[in-house]
Structure formats: structure tokens, C-alpha cells
Chain A
Amino acid sequence: MEALRYLPYLAPEGVIVTASHPFVNIPNYPEESALLAELDALPHVVRLDIDALAREQQLPKSANMILLGMAAPFLGLLDAEQLRAAISRVFAAKGEAVVAANLQAFDLGLDHSQKSVSK
């Protein structure tokens, strides 16, 4: 829903990159199928249930990193390699395992976007 909230800020050729599982913490959250339908009607959308994927791949805290990977092809400011280098640097203090998990999550997201774009 938050992706839709910021729709007026989207450029005509802009891309929406979003998690698809709703975060329901209010009583009047919109009906899920209506929400997804409105999202899918927009021209450039890449969505994925990042929470499910993170759980599946045993990367429980890295769901948002999957999202960053998904967004990487569209950012225009930094390429995937620069982002990977930054991830390594930012998480270095937390140890190799954490860096590896985040890079893995990033690559999963990147992969998903690249496959979606080529469709």
C-alpha cells in the first residue's frame, strides 16, 4: 500500500519496486486483491514477496536487501557492483557471515528484476 501512497511522486517512466506481502497493522487495510490489481495496472512494476523468499532462503533479516537488489537495475546512480561493494563495507563490522547473507539477498533481488525486465 505504501508504494501506492507515493504514486504522485513517480515520474512517467518511473518504476515501482515493491514487496508484495501486505503489512496489516490497521483495521481498515484495503482488500489485498484490489490493491494488487491497482498496482499491476501501472506501467512499470516489479513486485515480489520478499518476506517469503527471505524465509525460504534462510535469510530472515535480509528481506529489505532483496528489495535493494530488485531496485538496482533501475537506480541509475549506482550500479550493482558499487552497491555490492557498499554492502560489504557497511556490514563488515558484523562479520563475514552477515556480509555474505546480505550479498546473497541482494543477488536474489537483482536476479528477479533482471528476469522480470527480460520478459
Chain B
Amino acid sequence: MSEKRLLLGDEAVALGALHAGLSGVYAYPGTPSTEITEYIQKSPLARERGVRSRWCTNEKTAMEAALGMSYAGKRALVCMKHVGMNVCADAFVNAAVTGVKGGLVVLAADDPSMHSSQNEQDSRFYGKFAMVPIFEPSDQQEAYEMVAEAFALSEALRLPVLMRLVTRLAHSRAAVAVGEAQAQNALSPDDERTRWVLLPGNARRQYASLVAKQAEIEAAAAQSRRNACEGGWNDKKPLGVIAAGIAYNYVRESAPAGLPVFKLSQYPLPAHQVQELAAHCASILVVEDGQPFVEEQVRGILDAGYPVQGRLSGELPRTGELTPDCVARALGQPGGPAFADAHNLAPRPPQLCQGCGHRDVYTALNKVAAEYPDARIFGDIGCYTLGALPPFRAIDTCVDMGASITMAKGAADAGVHPAIAVIGDSTFTHSGMTGLLDAVNDGSAITVIISDNLTTAMTGGQDSAGTHKYEAICLALGVEREHLHVVVPLPKNMEEITRIIREEIEYRGVSVIIPQRECMQTLGRKLRQKKAKEA
């Protein structure tokens, strides 16, 4: 371990994976995980080694492709934000039943406080649900080192391993001592059909084997050097702390001397250490970022009367990310802000860039929707979600990836008219195509607007899976030619666009309008790169 690099938590994971002999990273952009795949895409080492790293259409295709690479004997990494786990859950859970061959690490980057998400679900529950090991590094150095450990454990147990980050770890930088890269695995496809073909007969046997493996997984966590007992565990102390992942840093920042701490970075939660801590302390405080995953289990391990404090009992806030301040308060440390909140403040919400094509789309849409008081506009996830805010206030719903089209269909089924869906190009290929097929098959009266800016913009301008293919896709799904339009969202085309929207609202079948104009940010970046190359 000689060289030191300044790395984001995400970059530490990426480099750790490359050094662990990664052969492929499969991912869909999602804050705060995006930088992992970007690092690998830009890495000379990855290029040299032929590491696959192209963006996938969604997290499910990513998980399955990774499973395929693992089946073939090579190491694969899957990356996503927390809600991405919902998308790939089918493949993830069943990968634990088939088991893996080449190491398979699933990296979920959670977003407590939902800075850029619809919720703050805790990915650790998925690990428990699938009955696989969970790694939760406490800092960037651990993030780097634990990736190799995760791959090794994955191959030893023949199970996927879930590694969990949170925003503050993924998106902050620290000095990381890095090592050498090990070789990739050789190609060696599995041939145990009875493992991989999950007909009930096989699945029952595989499932029993998964259940039987739990003892081994628990032992690995109990003996892991990533879980550590610190402070005095001999005498009787008033308070002991269990600190999971990044919470360990917050605890160390304000922990009084001699505080017994159980640093937790590998799961399943080792019951023995929890009981030992409880034996030496009059009460336990569980400090974890996200939901009360550990806290609930601790209550299940200890007797009903034993005082367990944490997010459920109120010592720590139930919602929102942890901060050093709230952890210090929970530890009874004095302090807090020296200055109260200022008075002369106003919220400054994000806005669509000046000149963005989505602006023109909403301007047109709002103009027409004003003529239809019963109109409902079902939105989706991307930069265009900002159409919900002033000055546009254009959308009525935004729930999950692809929900715009399918909710519009369901609402139209119920009688809502006009039912309009607004979806971005990346979101459309992610999970809008299947909804559109439903609508076509059922002849639903919906108007779908695919606002195509030729990129996955909100996450930083990554390649979009279906660029230049949307017309063909819609036609192939059965959208009628006369009810499929491509327009250019610019102020000068306002008359044409509003006319088309009006006509298609009046048509009581599936209509698709594709306003198409490149994102200002990616266009600018391309022009700058071109200029730099020419210089």
C-alpha cells in the first residue's frame, strides 16, 4: 500500500473493483452512485483490460448482465442508487437462490434526506431480504479495501454481496492508500444446471442451501475485522454505542473518552457482540444512517426491558441523514450552532437551464392544458421533473421511473381526459416502453410526450440508451404513424407544437409526440471538447 490518492467514496469503490480484477461494471446513472461507473469508463487501466462499462438501460438489465458475467466465471459490479434496488429486486433476490460463480458485488448508494430521490429507503433491508452479506464501509479507505473483500467473500460463499454507501461517503473525498491491481478471472462458465434453472424442484433445494449458508455468513460477519469492539468493554458503563458505516465517523468525532463502541461494517448483525455490549452497558445507542435497520434487530436480540436508543426512540431523528451535530447531541455532548438561522432568506430551488428544450415543451403544454380544465399531466423522473416548480407548475404527479405513461393509462381507463404523460428519453427506455405497449394493446386515450434531449441529463449527461431510435420503437410497439410526431422544441415552433398537442388530445387513442433538441449542457460540453481537440 504505497500510493495515496484523493478519491470520492464512489471513486474508491471503482478503483477497488478494478484492483480486485473486475471484468465488467453494469449500471444505470443514479445519484449518488453515478461516479463509480464514470470513473471506470475513464480509467486507462479499465480500457487496457477490456473491462465492460457501458451504461445499461435500467438496473434490472444491469443486474442480469452482471449475473451473466458471474455465471461465466468473471467478476462483475452492479451500481445503483437506493431506488434502483427496487428495479432490479427480482434478479437480485433470485441471484442469491441460484448463487454466483465469479464474484458479484452489488453497490447501492443510498440517499438519506432524499436530496435527489423520492424516498430514503435503506438498501440494507434488501440484503437481509435476499439473505446475503452486507458490507457498509465507514470511510473511503474502507470503501476501497472492502470491495476486494466483497468479491472474495462472494466467490467463497457463491453468493452476491451487497455493499452500501450513503451520499456523504459517496460524494466526499479523502486520501486513500491504494495497492496493486490483481488479474481478472479466467472464462469458466458454470455448468450446474440444477443450480441455475429455478424450476421449483431445483429452487427448493437451492433455497434450502441458501438458508443453510446463513450460519457461515453470520460467522464471517462475527469474525470480520471490519467489525470492531472499541473503548472499554470490561466495566459496567452507562452507555454503549453501535455505530454502523459512516455513523462510526460521526460517533468518533464527538465520543467521550472510554465510550464503548461497536463499529459495524459487515452484516448480518453479529448477535453475540450485541449481547456482550449489552452485558457491559446499562443502555445502548444505535447510530446508523438511513432507517432503523440495526436498531430493530438489536431490540429483537436483547430482552424486552433493555433500553435501546436510536431513531425509533427519538434520541436521533427518525428521518433525514445523520449529521455530526445530531450524533453529538445524542451522545450528550454540549454544543450546537453558534449562530441562529438568518432571517433574510428565501428558498432557491433548482431550475431548468435557460434555453433548455423542456422549457419550450412545458410552455406549449401549459398553453394547451389551460383550454382543458380536466387535464391531468403525469410526470416522470429527470430534469423535466422541474416542470413541477414555478414558473411552469405543469405536472400533477411524479412517482417512479416510467410511471408517467402507465399512470396516464390507468387514469384514462378510469375516465380522466385528457390524460397526458411527460417522460424523458432515458426514462422512456428505462421503463416507459412496457407501459406504452400496454396502452397500445388496450387502445388507451393517452397523449405521451417523450421530451428527448438526447441524454440522461439530471445525473450529468450520460449516454441515453435509445437515442435516435424512439420513432422506430414507438412504431414497433404499435403506435399509429399518424399519431406519432417529432417536433423541435423552440419558441418559433410554438404554433406547430400546440396545434399538434391539441389534435392528439382530441384523438381518443395512443398519441406520441417527441420534442427533440439536445441538452444545452451536453451540447456545450461537446463543443468545448471539440474546440480543445482542435487546439
Residues of A within 8 A of B340 (CB): 7-8
Knowing A25-B351, A27-B390 are in contact, say whether A11-B338 is a contact too (CB < 8 A).
Answer: yes
Nearest chain A CB to B341 CB, angstrom units = 6
Q: Which residue of A lies closest to B337 (CB)?
A: A8
Given known contacts A8-B337, A9-B337, A27-B390, A38 and B342 CB-to-CB distance under 8 angstroms: yes
Complex contacts, A5 vs chain B, CB 8 Å: 342, 345
Structural contact, A42 and B339, CB atoms closer than 8 A: yes
Shortest beta-carbon distance from A11 to chain B in Å: 6
The answer to whether residues A1 and B345 also contact, given A25-B351, A27-B390 and a CB cut-off of 8 A, is yes
Instruction: From A29-37, A61-69, A108-116, give the one contacting chain B.
Output: A29-37
B342 and A7 contact, CB distance less than 8 A: yes
- A86 CB to nearest B CB, Å: 13
Interface positions of B from 341 to 380, Cβ below 8 Å from A: 341-349, 351
Q: Are A7 and B346 closer than 8 Å at their CB atoms? A: no
The bracket for how many chain B residues form the interface is: 10 to 19
Interface residues of A, CB < 8 Å — how many? Answer: 22
- Measured between beta carbons, the chain A residues less than 8 angstroms from B390 are 27
- Quick check: B346 and A1 within 8 Å, CB to CB? yes
Determine the distance from Cα of A46 to Cα of B123 in the docked complex, in whole angstroms.
Answer: 44
- The answer to whether the Cβ of A100 comes within 8 Å of any Cβ in the partner chain is no
Q: Which residues of B contact A9 (CB under 8 A)?
A: 337
Is A118 among interface residues, defined by CB-CB distance under 8 A? no
Q: A92 contacts which chain B residues (CB < 8 A)? A: none
Task: Indicate if the CB atoms of A4 and B346 lie closer than 8 Å.
Answer: no
Contact of A35 among B337, B338, B339, B344 (CB under 8 A): B344
In the bound complex, CA of A35 to CA of B343 (Å): 9
- B314-355 Cβ-contact flags toward A at 8 Å (1 or 0): 000000000000000000000001111111111111010000
CB closest chain-A residue, reference B391: A27
Q: Which residue of B lies closest to A34 (CB)?
A: B344
The interface residues of chain B lying within 8 Å CB-to-CB of A8 are: 337, 339-341
Q: Is the CB of B338 within 8 A of A4?
A: no
Which residues of the other chain, A, contact B338 by a CB distance below 8 angstroms? 10-12, 14
User: Which residues of chain B have a CB within 8 Å of any CB of chain A?
Assistant: 337-349, 351, 390
The 10 residue pairs across chains A and B that have the minimum distance between CB atoms: A4-B342, A8-B337, A30-B344, A12-B338, A35-B344, A7-B339, A28-B346, A7-B342, A38-B344, A34-B344
A-B contacts, 5 of them at CB < 8 A, read A4-B344, A10-B339, A11-B338, A26-B346, A31-B344
Given contacts A8-B340, A28-B346, 16 further A-B contacts (CB under 8 A): A1-B344, A1-B348, A7-B339, A7-B340, A7-B341, A8-B341, A10-B337, A25-B351, A26-B346, A26-B349, A30-B344, A30-B345, A30-B346, A34-B344, A38-B342, A38-B344
